């Protein structure tokens, strides 16, 4: 006898359940197997009353589905819409694959003696600080010296593409959120979910959807994970713009478009840049996880360190990621500081 027989008996559903619970034709549960091996019905003391879960219900009534049916149902459901979904999503995301492939190709084709000075030049243009340029030179010099140059460039290529895509998508979404409370109400739970969902979890459906050899697989995973801060901070930044200034813009007859381009975005820029900085940091964190699904770069080395217990490789490639993170963070922060100085009140 199962614990919850009384529910089905009480509701008069015994007929719907079919034969009594014992000789069920469905899947066998662990408890049933244990009961069989011990040869007798397990006597359940009130202290051990099971939670009225799907499995416990199933014991009392065979027609009640097991929890296993739920997960397999989800899987079948996803698989059945997979093809339809793929027809829509595949072409939409194809440019991401191209962009990633091109970026990887460019970063590896350009020889180091052009690439490193170029990166130094970019960091100077953005930050106007010679100290930072020196840091960039030292970090890339070190990574090149220990033969991690091409891995580093691959990681950098992926981050450039993903961070740019995040900004290109995230800033407009943030603007839409700032302009309409309804959009904000819809977006905030989605952003919360993206931020808290373990990255591995959305890797799983992505693997089903795309082939593992496609770069867009890890591209999408990185973008989903890293887009949140830039969206949130764009929304926040625009909402925080001094309402008096907005009123002045209205009073002098600005159109909505003029207000957005000439007032709101420039004044929200410090916040937007802080979002970009966070987005870059998060995509760097995700690059390691994405190497599980064939993302090239330093993450592959970290993974090798874990898989085959090569401690030295794991530590050194970890250090490489830290160096990259420091450079990217300092350069974007220096850019942010420059914006702040020109706007401080």
Whole-angstrom distance, CA of residue 241 vs CA of residue 250: 14
CB nearer other proteins, residue 82 or residue 259: 259
321 token code pair: 């990621």
Name the strand (E) or helix (H) holding 134. Answer: helix 130-145
**Which of 308, 287, 334, 280 shows the shortest CA–CA distance to 152?**
287
Q: Does 261 bind other proteins (CB under 8 A)?
A: no
Q: Does 117 bind other proteins (CB under 8 A)?
A: no
Q: How many residues bind other proteins (CB under 8 A)?
A: 20
Of 72, 80, 258, 340, the one binding other proteins by CB under 8 A: 258
Q: How many CB atoms lie within 10 A of CB 91?
A: 9
**Which of 285, 265, 277 shows the shortest CA–CA distance to 174?**
265
Q: Does 12 bind other proteins (CB under 8 A)?
A: no
CB of 233 to other proteins, least distance (A): 18
Q: Does 267 bind other proteins (CB under 8 A)?
A: yes
CB nearer other proteins, residue 228 or residue 268: 268
Of 263, 288, 301, 327, the one binding other proteins by CB under 8 A: 263
Contacts of 76-84 with C-beta under 8 Å, sequence gap 24+, read: 78/205, 78/208, 79/208, 82/208, 82/209
Q: Does 48 bind other proteins (CB under 8 A)?
A: no
Whole-angstrom distance, CA of residue 186 vs CA of residue 200: 24
Q: Does 156 bind other proteins (CB under 8 A)?
A: no
Q: Does 262 bind other proteins (CB under 8 A)?
A: yes
95 token code pair: 């440019």
Q: Does 337 bind other proteins (CB under 8 A)?
A: no
**Binding window for other proteins (CB under 8 A); candidates: 46-54, 132-140, 221-229, 250-258:** 250-258
Angle between the 298-307 and 265-290 helix axes, to the nearest 10 degrees? 40
Q: How many CB atoms lie within 10 A of CB 63?
A: 15
CB of 268 to other proteins, least distance (A): 11
CB nearer other proteins, residue 48 or residue 181: 181
Of 1, 81, 146, 245, the one binding other proteins by CB under 8 A: 245
Cα of first residue to Cα of last residue in the chain, in angstroms, is 76
Q: Residues 100, 158: contact at Cβ < 8 Å?
A: yes
Q: Residues 305, 163: contact at Cβ < 8 Å?
A: no
Q: Does 340 bind other proteins (CB under 8 A)?
A: no
**Binding window for other proteins (CB under 8 A); candidates: 155-163, 194-202, 254-262, 309-317:** 254-262
CB of 246 to other proteins, least distance (A): 9
Of 9, 22, 102, 250, the one binding other proteins by CB under 8 A: 250
Of 49, 94, 180, 343, the one binding other proteins by CB under 8 A: 343
Q: Does 257 bind other proteins (CB under 8 A)?
A: no
Of 49, 71, 255, 340, the one binding other proteins by CB under 8 A: 255
Q: Does 181 bind other proteins (CB under 8 A)?
A: no
Q: Does 49 bind other proteins (CB under 8 A)?
A: no
CB nearer other proteins, residue 267 or residue 293: 267
Q: Does 247 bind other proteins (CB under 8 A)?
A: yes
Angle subtended at Cα 198 by Cα 276 and Cα 331, rounded to the nearest 5 degrees: 20
| Contacts of 33 by beta carbon, 8 Å cutoff, 6+ apart | none
Radius of gyration over every alpha carbon of the chain, rounded to an integer in angstroms: 28
SS3 (DSSP) at 58: helix
Q: How many CB atoms lie within 10 A of CB 129?
A: 16
Of 84, 252, 308, 309, the one binding other proteins by CB under 8 A: 252
Binding region for other proteins (CB under 8 A): 242, 244-245, 247-248, 250-255, 258, 262-263, 266-267, 342-345
């Amino acid at each position: 006898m199962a614990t919850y027989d009384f529910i089905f008996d009480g509701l008069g559903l015994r007929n719907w359940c079919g034969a009594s619970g014992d000789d069920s034709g469905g899947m066998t549960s662990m408890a049933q197997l244990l009961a069989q091996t011990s040869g007798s019905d397990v006597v359940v003391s009130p202290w051990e009353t099971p939670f009225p879960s799907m499995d416990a219900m199933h014991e009392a009534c065979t027609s009640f589905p097991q929890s296993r049916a739920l997960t397999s149902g989800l899987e079948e459901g996803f698989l059945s819409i997979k093809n339809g979904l793929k027809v829509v999503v595949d072409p939409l995301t194809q440019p991401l694959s191209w962009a990633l492939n091109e970026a990887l190709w460019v970063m590896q084709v350009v020889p180091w003696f052009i690439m490193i000075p170029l990166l130094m030049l970019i960091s100077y243009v953005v930050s106007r600080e010679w100290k930072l340029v020196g840091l960039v030179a030292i970090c890339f010099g070190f990574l090149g010296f220990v033969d991690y140059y091409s891995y580093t460039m691959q990681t950098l290529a992926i981050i450039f593409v993903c961070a740019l895509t995040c900004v290109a998508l995230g800033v407009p979404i943030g603007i839409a959120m700032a302009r309409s409370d309804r959009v904000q109400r819809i977006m905030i739970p989605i952003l919360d979910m993206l931020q808290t969902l373990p990255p591995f979890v959305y890797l799983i459906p992505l693997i089903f959807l795309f082939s593992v050899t496609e770069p867009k697989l890890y591209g999408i995973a990185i973008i989903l994970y890293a887009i949140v801060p830039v969206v949130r901070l764009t929304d926040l930044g625009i909402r925080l713009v001094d309402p008096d200034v907005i009123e002045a813009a209205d009073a002098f007859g600005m159109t909505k478009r003029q207000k957005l381009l000439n007032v709101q975005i420039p004044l929200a820029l410090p916040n937007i840049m802080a979002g970009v900085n966070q987005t870059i940091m998060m995509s760097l964190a995700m690059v390691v996880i994405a190497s599980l699904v064939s993302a090239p770069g330093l993450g592959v080395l970290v993974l090798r360190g874990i898989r085959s217990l090569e401690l030295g490789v794991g530590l050194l490639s970890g250090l490489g990621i830290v160096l990259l993170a420091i450079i990217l963070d300092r350069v974007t922060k220096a850019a942010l500081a420059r914006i702040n100085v020109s706007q401080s009140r």
